[in-house]
A and B are shown apart, each in its own frame.
Chain A
Amino acid sequence: MTGYLIRGAAVLGGDPTDLLLRDGVVAEVGTGLDAAGAEVVDAAGLVALPGLVDLHTHLREPGREDAETVETGTRAAALGGFTAVHAMANTEPVADTAGVVEQVWRLGREAGYCDVYPVGAVTVGLAGERLAELGAMADSAARVRVFSDDGCCVSDAVLMRRALEYVKAFDGVVAQHAQEPRLTEGAQMNEGELSGRLGLTGWPAVAEEAIIARDCLLAAHVGSRLHVCHVSTAGSVEIVRDAKRKGWNVTAEACPHHLLLTDDLAATYDPIYKVNPPLRSGVDVEALRAGLADGTIDVVATDHAPHPHEDKDCEWAAAAFGMLGLETALSIVQETMVDPGLLDWAGVAERMSYAPARIGRVADHGRPIEVGNPANVLLYDPAVRRVVEPSESASLSRNTPYRGMELPGRVVATFLRGHATVLDGKLQ
């Protein structure tokens, strides 16, 4: 057998066509293709999309292999239709040296389920005090282009300015976790009427918006690229929209959970809903959807954050922040954006593949399904509905907030450079 002949796939939701994936690339596109020796995949009714690229994944290795490893995390990614993920730097040890990023990169290559692009820490140990060796990470085998202290905010204005300037030397981008630390000391959930009633310390929107506004101004001042992680508030969307209108080089991402879930879930005190930034109000959810639809928000990124059971099976304040996201991301984007008519499949390809690859400067991903491009492709059935069952996840962790929820769509197949990582909805 050589390659895969995909029959009747709707590329970006268009008319059914055949795709021949051979030698790692899209070899032919057209109707009535015939390819001797290729394994035929019946894609009638399926949408073909370019392999998804996640700008924001926590793979936990090294250090927290009880929560996730590069292998299990990339298996989950493949099941979610991803062919590339950016692995965040808040591991133990922190990915703040060439050695650690190369280790993560190598683990990804060995796992083989999707390409792993390590994100380098902006500051040593995420401590926010001095720059990590950004150049060494950029020049390493891992070729790091995205730098982030995610989990912590680079709150020092001078340090942020220097980071934005410094990464220009290798066309890098600083991905900011926007959280003013003093305004969010001990913060547990969205600050609002509900946090007051529940007695949970509030995480006010202004703590995110103030940092984003400052960083947009800094990026404009020094002429650098800024990427804003997990935008969660209506005010943040407005600030990013304004920055783009001014022509500043600012991009932003939103997470699936912020597109679907709202802060009233905190009333259960079940920390499965505890995440940073927190679930916000319905008004914020609407603003994020609108921002994603009009391009203010460039990217859907998962912020896949696995945690072992005991870190969620406890009281809210003691629980870890974060939720799984890789295997449900596309379904949630269908539910919140495609089905309501806010985004078509071409828009999904842009927000979940092309744009994140562009921002991460990943050349071999985020390319249209056209002859000659790397065969990073996924097949998706938007017609089925499924109930999320945490035990079916390929992740080592089970902290999905969607347990028992019925979501549309299912990834049927994922191809990484023409090699099937997922077929018939199952890992290969």
Chain B
Amino acid sequence: MKRHLLSAADLGRDDAELVLQTAAELRELADRPIKKLPALRGRTVVNLFFEDSTRTRISFEAAAKRLSADVINFAAKGSSLSKGESLKDTALTLEAMGADAVVVRHGASGAPHRLAHSGWVRSSVVNAGDGTHEHPTQALLDAFTLYRHLGSTDGGRLRPGSLEGRRIAVVGDVLHSRVARSNALLLRTLGAEVTLVAPPTLLPVGVGTWPVETSYDLDAVLPKADAVMMLRVQRERMTGGFFPTPREYSRRYGLDGRRMATLQDHTIVMHPGPMVRGMEITADVADSDRSVIVEQVTNGVAVRMAVLYLLLGGSEPAVGGEE
């Protein structure tokens, strides 16, 4: 693995499968009464969150703590960030405190890239979502969830290559979605066939060059999909002129009970959260048996444990025999 995880493109197929395999081993922990390993004892992980994201932050925090790392949470609110300290100075401060890994969430696309490549810090940088660019650990947890449901498992292990040819529909505001970008890259790396479904106004310029299919017609895509990943439509987009009304958006691109009925029996429904119920997904779908949305959260902790473990130089198997 590279020293940083900035983009899903940083992961080749072997790297991605190593992360997922490691996550599978670590996932077992979640079912044990004592959920902690000593692997990162004495290491410091900083959660540097310039944007509010309680879900992602606590997921990384739980992951680091289960590996016995020390965790420092540094959030924009109530810190020097709100007083206008620069990204650079914040990074230098954290570096001086001895961070081994910096998990960064930032509103500006490329901020983690700058952090990793500007000589400000020596620690590993993990992108926990940057602007409208990428969110690679979300893609990893989505891939992990897909493996568990669509990939055949061999006694708890994930069978490599089992997403080959699987059809994944990613539906919604692709233009502004870092989740969609990371998933398009990672799922393709893992051999899946991705179809991005959105109104034309919410597809990025140049999407035709991405290694994915695109469609404006959700109803045509659903019956062939093995998984449907719904993206949140943020409130500010609803008034941004990207579509006429929220109601029309829901009608054309929302996943409701009627559309769910057209899915194949094994097809699962995913959402990175937080959901806007009634907008892109109806409550009956979100709460249905097909929905793996809550499981995604559990898997998120395992995947982030794997990422931190591998980036911080874990060479031994993460889960030893004896502990």
Report which A residues bind B (CB closer than 8 A): 188, 191-202, 204, 268-270, 310, 313-318
Q: Does B109 have its Cβ within 8 Å of any Cβ on chain A?
A: yes
Q: Which residues of A contact B210 (CB under 8 A)?
A: 196-197
Q: Which residues of A contact B181 (CB under 8 A)?
A: 197, 199
Q: List 16 A-B contacts (CB under 8 A).
A: A194-B206, A195-B204, A196-B207, A199-B109, A199-B130, A199-B132, A200-B110, A200-B132, A268-B117, A269-B110, A313-B86, A314-B86, A314-B87, A315-B110, A317-B109, A318-B87
A317 in contact with B131 (CB, 8 Å): yes
B130 in contact with A316 (CB, 8 Å): no
Q: Does B209 have its Cβ within 8 Å of any Cβ on chain A?
A: yes
A314 in contact with B209 (CB, 8 Å): no
CA distance A314 to B209 in the complex (A): 30
Q: How distant is A423 from chain B, measured CB to nearest CB, in Å?
A: 38
Chain B interface residue bracket vs A: 20 to 34
Q: Which residues of A contact B268 (CB under 8 A)?
A: none
Q: Which residues of A contact B134 (CB under 8 A)?
A: 199
Minimum CB distance partner of A194 in chain B: B206
Q: Does B106 have its Cβ within 8 Å of any Cβ on chain A?
A: yes
Minimum CB distance partner of B115 in chain A: A315
Q: Which residues of A contact B204 (CB under 8 A)?
A: 195-197
Contact pick for A317, options B108, B118, B178, B206, CB 8 Å = B108
A315 and B205 in contact, given A199-B132, A199-B134 (Cβ under 8 angstroms): no
CA distance A202 to B204 in the complex (A): 10
Minimum CB distance partner of A188 in chain B: B109
Q: Which residues of A contact B86 (CB under 8 A)?
A: 310, 313-314, 318
A316 in contact with B206 (CB, 8 Å): no
Q: Which residues of B contact A202 (CB under 8 A)?
A: 205
B110 in contact with A316 (CB, 8 Å): yes
A315 and B111 in contact, given A199-B133, A199-B134, A199-B178 (Cβ under 8 angstroms): yes
Contact pick for A197, options B111, B117, B206, CB 8 Å = B206
B114 in contact with A316 (CB, 8 Å): yes
Q: Which residues of A contact B107 (CB under 8 A)?
A: 317
Q: How distant is A44 from chain B, measured CB to nearest CB, in Å?
A: 44
Q: Does B13 have its Cβ within 8 Å of any Cβ on chain A?
A: no
Q: Which residues of B contact A318 (CB under 8 A)?
A: 86-87, 108
Q: Does B88 have its Cβ within 8 Å of any Cβ on chain A?
A: yes
Q: Which residues of A contact B133 (CB under 8 A)?
A: 198-200
Q: Which residues of A contact B111 (CB under 8 A)?
A: 269, 315-316
A316 and B109 in contact, given A194-B206, A198-B133, A199-B130 (Cβ under 8 angstroms): yes
Contact pick for B114, options A192, A193, A310, A315, CB 8 Å = A315
Number of A-B contacts (CB under 8 A): 78
Q: Which residues of A contact B118 (CB under 8 A)?
A: 270, 313
A315 and B87 in contact, given A191-B205, A197-B181, A202-B205 (Cβ under 8 angstroms): yes
B206 in contact with A196 (CB, 8 Å): yes
Q: Which residues of B contact A269 (CB under 8 A)?
A: 109-111, 113-114, 117
Instruction: Please list the 7 inter-chain residue pairs (A to B) with the smallest Cβ-Cβ separation, ordered nearest first.
Output: A193-B206, A199-B133, A269-B110, A196-B204, A199-B109, A199-B132, A317-B108
Q: Which residues of A contact B205 (CB under 8 A)?
A: 191-193, 195-196, 202, 204
Minimum CB distance partner of B109 in chain A: A199
B87 in contact with A199 (CB, 8 Å): no
Q: Which residues of B contact A193 (CB under 8 A)?
A: 205-206, 209
CA distance A201 to B132 in the complex (A): 9
- Residues of B176-196 at the interface with A, using a CB-CB cut-off of 8 Å, are 178, 181
CA distance A372 to B290 in the complex (A): 88
Q: How distant is B109 from chain A, measured CB to nearest CB, in Å?
A: 4
A314 and B114 in contact, given A193-B205, A196-B205, A196-B206 (Cβ under 8 angstroms): yes
- Residues of B79-117 at the interface with A, using a CB-CB cut-off of 8 Å, are 86-88, 106-111, 113-114, 117
Contact pick for B109, options A198, A268, A310, CB 8 Å = A198
Binary CB contact string for chain B from 263 to 292 against chain A (1 if under 8 A, 0 otherwise):
000000000000000000000000000000
- Residue among B86, B108, B113 with the most chain A CB within 10 A? B108
Q: How distant is A274 from chain B, measured CB to nearest CB, in Å?
A: 11
Binary CB contact string for chain B from 207 to 219 against chain A (1 if under 8 A, 0 otherwise):
1011000000000
Q: Can you add 20 more A-B contacts, CB < 8 Å, to A193-B209, A198-B109, A199-B132?
A: A191-B205, A195-B206, A196-B204, A196-B205, A196-B206, A199-B109, A199-B131, A199-B134, A200-B110, A200-B132, A202-B205, A270-B117, A270-B118, A313-B118, A314-B114, A316-B109, A316-B110, A316-B114, A317-B108, A318-B108
CA distance A204 to B107 in the complex (A): 22
Q: Which residues of B contact A195 (CB under 8 A)?
A: 204-206
Q: Which residues of B contact A204 (CB under 8 A)?
A: 205
CA distance A7 to B308 in the complex (A): 69
CA distance A315 to B110 in the complex (A): 7
Q: How distant is A376 from chain B, measured CB to nearest CB, in Å?
A: 42
Minimum CB distance partner of A201 in chain B: B132
